[in-house]
Structure 1
Amino acid sequence: MNWKLHLERVLRFYRILKETLTTNRMRLTRWSLYFAAGVFVLLILTTIFQFLIFLYYKDSIYHELDSLKSGLAREGQREGPKQIISIFDRNNLLLGEYNRGATLNLSLKQCNLLGTVQKTLIAAEDQDFYSHSGFSFKGVLRAFWRNLISFQIRQGGGTITQQLARNLFTERKRNSISRKIYETILAFYIESKLGKSEILCLYVNKAYFGQNSYGIEEASRFYFNKPASKLSYAEAALLVGILPAPSLYNPVRNTSSAMKKQKSVLDLLVKTEILAEKEAAKKANEFRAFYQIDENDPENPYGRIAKSGTNKLYRVNHAPELNEYIIKYLYDTFESVQNSTENVQIYTTIELTKQVALKRILNGDIDSLRWSFRNGSKLGYEEAKNYSSGIQGVVITMEPRTGEVLAISGGGNLSDPYQSMTRAFYMKRQVGSALKGFLYSAAIEEGIIDENTELDDSPVNIAGYKPRNWYGSYLGKISVAKALQRSVNTVAVKVLKDLGISKYIDYIQDGLGLSSFETKRFPKNLTLALGSADFSLLEVGTLYSEIVNGGTAVEPAVLRKVVVGGDTYYQNDSIGSGGKRIFKESTCASILEFLKSVFETGGTASWIGDKKKRNSEYLNYDIAGKSGTVESENATYEKLGLKGSRDVWFVGLTPTEVTVVWFGHDEGVPIPGSGSSVAASTWAKYAQTAIRPKEDARSFLTNSSPMESVTPPLTEESSTEENDSSENDPKDEKQEGPDSSPSNEEKIYVAPEEKAKG
């Protein structure tokens, strides 16, 4: 941005301000002065109040600073609560080992060797560091000017000392004027007790650089696999650029923003005459080339950054996203464990080999679906690539007798593992036809239908609600099995009308153990038959587990036991304890037979059944399932030529596992394919790879011990409310169909303009 443009913006702002003041001059009466005086008095009182708070805590602040100063005299060392958390799978195999709190702090002597880091930090964060006493009016004015000419908040006015005060004493307070005042008071005090070099050293030791990296040394070793003293200006600029907003400028999560921030920091090094302009540009180019940075690569924009570095937190990490989630859940749920220094062992329901296989298959299918989107889109390449990067998938597989989660994965983005697992556990989306199996189970249980019932697939018009079939016609009189096999929408709506919406919701409530308040999220209309309600994958898996296990409610579980310091701290006694009976076993047997037909000729996933017939070793046990597809009808996306499905589901049932698969886009962008093609393919690959029932447990509703152990090879992941309105109509399942074998099972390709039947 050149100075002429800056000047034009400032002059335009001045003209607007002048016109506003001239137009409203008569309104600037005495009350305005009172208001200004009131604000001034409020600021004075706030300052006095914050100063009194400081005086109250002064002694403890003094002792804290004294302790920190003494620590700087010692050689760099790891400090903090030493706690090793070991996470085990259901067979006592190690999922991960987490070394908590071992933060590597640099001594003052070591900090003095960080010339490149110190110069970069001061240029970017506090150019008057050596001349102020904790607060810089020049810094505030400089930040105000930069924000004004750029018409955005680009820089704060806090000094390094104020930031240190925040990191040490006010970090958890909400951002406010009173907090800023308190930080300023603390900054003056810190400057009176510590030297500039000590302040700098404490700051770089305590600063947060994203990715669980605290302190410059940890950050340097994690991102670049080198000590901080060896950092180049470009590397230092990237790390220093993270500090104002560690999430926004995280090079792993937001590479483009991080690289722009790096350039901004390098420009400041030029402005402060630490680097020449050509030298800064050369260093930036060398950095980009060496670390193979490509912001336009949706799979790996950050290249080699953080690839070879060391993460101090994990010694073993076979299931990164799951381990990260479990540890955060542990600390959030059991506060005393977080404050403990005793070692912790966490025993989970996960099976390591299934977890690894599931993650590998899901990642591959997400990549294929993104590829399909990019190559079938009418958008430009860059725009299509940008949209495709938001396509995600989630899979969860459960042991139906106990509700134990055997494996779970929440998408292909490991740069934010907690977000991935939050998606897997808690994300709720419309399920389309995926829950028709549970609807029909309730109808069988209530005596509305049975295996001899003849249903009528004919036009429906109930108070103006006219559901459509995905195949655009009507089949007339059909059996219950045929209705499920072909995923007939008109029949499902009629079944729900006969059953009663409230009665159906009661079954869901019992099946999930929901309170009456929690059921308010379900629409009290007939669209519920077609999946207009939002469910999580865990909820869908739980409801189908209660069918596969013979009708008993289960409570999903991931944790079995937590041991702290050798003593059992938590024991999950609900696992396998037996819950409320939801359905009779005969009901479950009937619905499972009906759901088997999904894989038979004419079924929405018949391609899987065809393969099973051809190969006796392929899925050589009972299988049943139900797909679900929610069409996207977003006008904005349609204008862009983007058509397809908003949510695609498949529920795969075997005697020993219930697996739920979902694909979609976090922002609702249409994706290619349907539940019976895309999601069913993922399930089939997982089932063939990782589901191995024992010989006497290959049929539904047998009471045998469920599984044999299966050991697929580990991948590189091993290393590191009632009316009949049509509100909430999910637009049926237009994309379900019988003849939909993917053209290539290992690479899903369904172009957006094609309508996948299956």
Structure 2
Amino acid sequence: MRVFLRLLRYAAYLGVAGILIGAAALGTAYWLIAPRLPSVDVLKDVRLQVPLRVESADGKLIAMFGETKRTPVRIEEVPLQLRNAFLAAEDADFYKHSGIDPSGILRAVWLTATTGRKQVAGGSTITQQVARMFFLSPEVSYTRKLSEIFLAFRIESALSKDDILALYLNKSFFGHRSYGIAAAAEFYYGKKLDQLTLAECAMLASIPKFPSTGNPLSRPERAKERRGYVLGRMLDDHYIDQAQYSAAMAEPDTAQAHEPPVEVDAPYFAELVRLEVMERLGNNALTDGYRVRTTLDATLQEAANNALRNGLLLYDQRHGFRGAEGHADLAVDATPAQWNQALAPYRPLAGLVPALVTASGKDSATLYLADGQSILLELPALQWARRYLDDDHRGPAPKAASDVLKAGDVVRVTRDDKGTWTLSQLPNAEAALVALRPDDGAVVSLIGGFSFARSKFNRATQSARQPGSGFKPFIYSAAFDRGFTPASVLNDAPVSFPDPSRPDGVWTPKNDDDTFQGPIRLRDALAKSVNLISVRLLDAISVRYAHEYMSRFGFSPAQIPQSLSMALGSAAVAPLAMARGYAVFANGGYLIDPYIVSEITDRDGKVVYHADPAVVCHSCTDHPPLPPASATPGPLGIGIANATDAADATHSAGRTIDARNAYLVSSLLRDVIRRGTGAAAMSLKRNDLAGKTGTTNDHRDAWFTGFNSTIVASCWVGFDDFSTLGRGEFGAKAALPIWIDFMRTALKDVPEQPFDMPPGIARVRIDPANGLLAGADDPNAILEVMKTEDAERLATQPPPGQDSTRQHEAYDVF
């Protein structure tokens, strides 16, 4: 007995000694490690990475930028059932312990000692995991484990249990770039947290242990097994009863990828916004949870997308079918699995769906789609698909479906307005369309190409294309500033100018149709887009004057050639720059700066930026003047006038041309639509539209830019490699239909807005033959508008015939 007591006493001594040694070792470890531990106070105001959210003017999602998908939530927003699932899976005693689970640690130590493995299950509480997530590396070592334990104690003393759990739920990685429970619920199930079922809660709680290899998309069977484990733990811990457990175990898992629901298709616009936000807020703008409200109108953007894509497809069909996009050699008895394999390299683009021809005969062809359905295209639906030969020629109409489609061909199909599938093809030509408000420059729609997935190059802002005749209104404006009037008569006749750059040393401009009309009034000349009149007009006012004058429309000097070719639109501009220039006519003479961001708020809803654009103010008496435009590109890639700061200071846009000048040019541009090259726009049945077509040499560029007092839109069509669009593809044929389709939506239910005549404009009767004032009894007289001083000057000129020499010289010079 004495021996037993003696042994017991020795055991007690050893136990106490062990405890003292362990405490000393732990104290020494703390003394060594604690000074190097970070402060946990930063967890009181954690700024988790949240993607940049870009929205339209009415709050619809355009895009989200950032490597991580995360939507932080407060613990009160997490349903109790979901919280319990995580507690059962990770730390059932979370609300009871002080940061660590001694039994779990001892179990982990025992397993490490007996198995020799460095990584064993158990041992880390939720608090310890939070410490590891925010402060420690994934290194496996005793030092890191001790640091984790010490940090857990500090976290428990600094934060409440609910705060710690909220950090864990918002920081955890759930696979597929999803961080945080809210993002995971949205990605895997497309649901908000309060919409999750018990089985879905258990599945989400099972993912953080193996986020990449145990999520329901990567390893569904393993994930379902893990879900069962979590449900079993919830049952054991009395979070659920047997009936709930059985029902959840029987529930099939419906997880699938749910990307954020983009509501507005505007990737070119979104990329511009991303660049501007990063310029304003730095690189962290993509992860700091900012929300950007833009100027984009969702309805108008959809209209722009539809109009541009339909216009390009119609252009493409006019020039014939270029053949299959690809071909697969398939056996006659090929299976749907083999069909899917043949379609795998192809993805839908801009509504054009890839399809595999599985059979083709005389009257029809059968095509297979990646979603498993087969469609039938009959011969009448293929009549447009005459073989493309070159830009100006097509082959004969197909007499059988097999003339167009062969078994194994991969082609594109799309649905028409009636839901019927039709043959299509990816167009080689490109287009761009941009629309803005002329009163403040807000960009309401912008599309920079047929498909952002195919080409990231933004033709609406980054291109430098010749506008052709679309540039003539600016020349006419300069001429009106030098004493010309809409009634001025110029001679449409052959003319030559010395040009050392040409082999023969002479430049001989021509009209599009190689004909001449003789003396013609400026109003008619612009309506008919007579080239030689613009050249003579520019020669009369001087290239130097016109070159300087162009800055009034926001063009930088580098964009404009200092030669007579300026009159024919040889400048290098983008559609956005053209829309900005035409806005000067639309708003009565003011230069506005296009902008795309209205407001930026941080993750807490605080406004960190609010746009304050210079706005046209017709009632203001003092407008800041605008000096010549700077060559420095603005945020949208165009030259911004140096006086923008002055304009912003008064919140009033600067006047850049006389209101009367703007009215006269607009008056001529209304005639372009009423009876000129833009007459097709009269299909909109409005009398408040003005605009101008543009076509360059060899039909390389087709333009139409037009407006009323509420919106300006510019459309360009062409090839990126400057190839010809083909004979007859003028601006009126290739670009104007796109503009019309867009404006049909943009102006729907918008009352007509007449262009108000400003003071100082006279309405006079003129002789259409010579542009001079007509007598009161002249039966051929027509009404014309011009500046009052110009009308008074004409009134002092002698009647026709009394100074025929002067009149002849006028025709000859001009």
Tell me the TM-score normalized by structure 1: 0.50
Larger radius of gyration: 2
TM-score normalised to structure 2 length:
0.47
Give the structure with the higher percent helix.
1
Higher RCO, 1 vs 2 (CA within 8 Å, ≥6 residues apart): 1
